[in-house]
């Protein structure tokens, strides 16, 4: 129990059989208890293999186990009302009656004298009828026979109760003969017209007829169980018996009207028709902000490995071997052509003129950058033609085509995330070198390459690219699955960047 525990609702117990089809028996009772905002408990006295079409087999729970269930719940939980349903046989009835007497709960007991299922299966053995009459009914506060059950209880021939007057007589007779305070004779089986149920109250000796419109429906499986469970729940809430019955009948009537199709035979009523669906909202995913910081922080250390790569560090200190750098420049010249294409693709996928212009600017920036490569190479005696004829490395093929594939198979955000390690990484790596006191700027032939990415123009492009991703992510509020996909793309391209510089160092 927590500090803020709400008040406990009244507890209501059903002593009945299980319906594997979920429409009658224990299952209907517990659903009904819940729909009445009560706390439902159960002692299962039999199992049925049953669906909406038939009862296929019945298995009796041993009487000792019935006793144990009842002792267990009565000894611990303060139960406000109980009901019985299918009771199967003499031994079951005896176990229930003995446990009831032993625990003497002093609470209302509603007895639904279930005998035969709507679909035809026997739910109470012939020889148990007398035990029901003689042993259980004297304990009952209220009993709910239908016409056939009333006839059996009164030992009358079948179809001898066929009018409302005969129902009134039968109700009075059952009340008096078995000492039951309230008898509800259910008139559902009377042909045509509205449904009339008759309530006899011993105390006042009055009979009351409760009339309700008949609902044409085949979804009537479990209506008897549901009615007696609703009465028990209402009694648990301290309603007067007649009110408890009136409200219970209304509940069943509306639950039939609200029924939805289940199975191929007599479907169940809709026990939950008055319940609203769960008010708990689906879990929301907090969109990480800044998202680009989240990507770096969740790259398993790859991001740091990338921006502090030995290739850049050696370039920063001027210790990089020239063949490695020339190889890199030639490959990066090819890379830039594809990177310009990915920016053109991003422009194609953009919505606004401003975004299209921004992406086109970066594509132009790639062209400018590649001229720097040509210039540096020509200083070392390498012609533009030689650069054009360079065979593209697998590291470049893998990296650039991976990004282009993201661009063609996915959307703008995923493409931008795939492109981002290149843009941001060069910007960050260059700033790292610029800020490092051991970096050599004077006389370092690689410095023009680094300073190009550290300068304001490139840093401004980085800032714009970052903002574009942040805006798209905040706008979309991605699901966790989408966040995971974007992160994977970011991590993959960061790893491909590392491979690109690795391959230059291997030359």
Strands of the sheet containing 11-19, edge to edge, are 55-60, 39-50, 11-19, 79-84, 109-111, 142-143, 182-185, 195-201, 206-212
Q: Is 110 in the site for ligand MP5 (CB under 6 A)?
A: no
What is the rounded distance in angstroms from the CA atom of residue 256 to the CA atom of residue 267? 10
- Cβ closer to ligand MP5: 85 or 478? 85
Q: Is 54 in the site for ligand MP5 (CB under 6 A)?
A: no
Q: Is 433 in the site for ligand MP5 (CB under 6 A)?
A: no
Residue whose CB is nearest to ligand MP5 in the complex, by number: 25
- Identify whether 225 is a catalytic site residue: yes
Question: For residues 235, 75, 111 and 242, what is the CA-based torsion angle, rounded to 10 degrees?
Answer: -10
Residue with tokens 């309603």: 239
- Identify whether 186 is a catalytic site residue: yes
The residue range among 11-19, 227-235, 291-299, 314-322 that interacts with ligand MP5, by the rule CB under 6 A, is 11-19
Taking the complex as a whole, the smallest distance from the CB of residue 58 to ligand MP5 amounts, in Å, to 8
Q: Which of 225, 366, 422, 432 is catalytic?
A: 225
CA 356 to each of CA 43, 69, 371: distance values in angstroms, whole numbers, following the listed order: 70, 73, 23
Give me 97's structure tokens: 């009656």
Please state whether 78 falls in left (phi above 0), alpha (psi between -120 and 50) or beta. Answer: beta
Q: Which of 222, 358, 365, 465 is catalytic?
A: 222
Q: Which of 84, 207, 220, 292 is catalytic?
A: 220
The residue range among 10-18, 160-168, 366-374, 402-410 that interacts with ligand MP5, by the rule CB under 6 A, is 10-18
Taking the complex as a whole, the smallest distance from the CB of residue 279 to ligand MP5 amounts, in Å, to 32
Q: Is 22 in the site for ligand MP5 (CB under 6 A)?
A: no
Q: Is 17 in the site for ligand MP5 (CB under 6 A)?
A: yes
83 three-class SS: strand
Give me 278's structure tokens: 């769960």
What is the rounded distance in angstroms from the CA atom of residue 230 to the CA atom of residue 36? 7
Q: Is 255 in the site for ligand MP5 (CB under 6 A)?
A: no
Q: Which of 85, 224, 316, 365 is catalytic?
A: 224
- Identify whether 179 is a catalytic site residue: no
What is the rounded distance in angstroms from the CA atom of residue 336 to the CA atom of residue 194? 84
Taking the complex as a whole, the smallest distance from the CB of residue 186 to ligand MP5 amounts, in Å, to 11
Q: Please provide residue 44's backbone torsions phi and psi, each rounded to the nearest 5 degrees.
A: -90, 125
- Identify whether 317 is a catalytic site residue: no
What is the rounded distance in angstroms from the CA atom of residue 54 to the CA atom of residue 48? 10
Q: Is 150 in the site for ligand MP5 (CB under 6 A)?
A: no
- Identify whether 222 is a catalytic site residue: yes
Taking the complex as a whole, the smallest distance from the CB of residue 158 to ligand MP5 amounts, in Å, to 17
Q: Which of 48, 92, 223, 489 is catalytic?
A: 223
What is the rounded distance in angstroms from the CA atom of residue 350 to the CA atom of residue 362? 14
Closest by alpha carbon to 198, among 120, 50, 189, 289? 189
Residue from 107, 123, 183, 302 touching ligand MP5 (CB under 6 A): that is 123
Known catalytic residues are: 186, 220, 222-225
| Residue ranges that bind ligand MP5, judged by CB under 6 A | 16-19, 24-25, 48, 50, 85-86, 114, 117-119, 123, 221-225
């Amino acid at each position: 129990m927590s500090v803020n525990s709400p008040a406990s609702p009244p507890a209501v117990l059903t002593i009945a059989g299980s319906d594997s089809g979920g429409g009658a028996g224990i299952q209907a009772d517990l659903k009904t208890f819940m729909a009445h905002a009560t706390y439902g408990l159960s002692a299962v006295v039999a199992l049925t293999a049953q669906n909406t079409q038939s009862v296929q087999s019945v298995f009796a729970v041993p009487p000792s186990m019935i006793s144990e269930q009842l002792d267990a719940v009565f000894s611990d939980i303060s139960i406000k009302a109980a009901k019985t349903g299918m009771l199967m046989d003499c031994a079951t009835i005896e176990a229930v009656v003995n446990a009831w007497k032993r625990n003497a709960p002093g609470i209302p007991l509603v007895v639904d004298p279930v005998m035969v299922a709507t679909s035809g299966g026997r739910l109470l053995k012939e020889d148990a009828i007398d035990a029901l009459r003689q042993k259980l009914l004297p304990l009952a506060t209220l009993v709910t026979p239908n016409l056939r059950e009333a006839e059996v209880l009164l030992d009358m021939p079948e179809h001898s109760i066929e009018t409302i007057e005969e129902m009134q007589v039968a109700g009075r007779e059952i009340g008096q003969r078995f000492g039951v305070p309230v008898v509800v004779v259910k008139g559902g089986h009377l042909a045509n017209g509205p449904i009339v149920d008759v309530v006899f109250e011993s105390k006042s000796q009055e009979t009351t007829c409760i009339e309700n419109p008949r609902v044409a429906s085949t979804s009537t499986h479990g209506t008897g169980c549901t009615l007696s469970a609703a009465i028990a729940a209402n009694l648990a809430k301290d309603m007067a018996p007649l009110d408890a019955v009136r409200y219970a009948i209304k509940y069943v009537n509306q639950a039939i009207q609200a029924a939805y199709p289940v199975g191929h035979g007599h479907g169940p009523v809709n026990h939950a028709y008055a319940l609203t669906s769960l008010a708990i909202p689906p879990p929301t995913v907090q969109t990480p902000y800044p998202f680009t910081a989240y990507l770096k922080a969740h790259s398993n250390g790859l991001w740091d490995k990338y921006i502090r790569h030995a290739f850049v560090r050696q370039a920063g200190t001027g210790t990089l071997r020239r063949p490695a750098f020339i190889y890199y420049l030639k490959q990066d010249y090819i890379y830039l052509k594809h990177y310009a294409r990915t920016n053109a693709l991003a422009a194609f996928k953009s919505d606004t003129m401003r975004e299209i212009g921004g992406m086109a600017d970066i594509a132009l920036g790639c062209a400018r950058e590649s001229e720097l490569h040509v210039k540096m190479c020509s200083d070392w005696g390498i012609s533009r033609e030689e650069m054009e004829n360079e065979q593209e490395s697998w590291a470049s093929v893998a990296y650039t085509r991976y990004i282009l594939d993201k661009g063609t198979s996915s959307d703008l955000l995923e493409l931008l995330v795939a492109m981002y390690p290149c843009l941001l990484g060069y910007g960050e790596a260059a700033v790292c070198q610029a800020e490092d006191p051991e970096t050599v700027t004077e006389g370092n032939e690689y410095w023009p390459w680094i300073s190009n990415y550290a300068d304001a123009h490139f840093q401004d492009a980085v800032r714009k690219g970052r903002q574009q991703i942040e805006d798209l992510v905040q706008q979309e509020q991605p699901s966790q699955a989408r966040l995971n996909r974007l992160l994977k793309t970011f991590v993959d391209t960061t790893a491909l960047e590392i491979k690109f510089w690795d391959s230059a160092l291997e030359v």
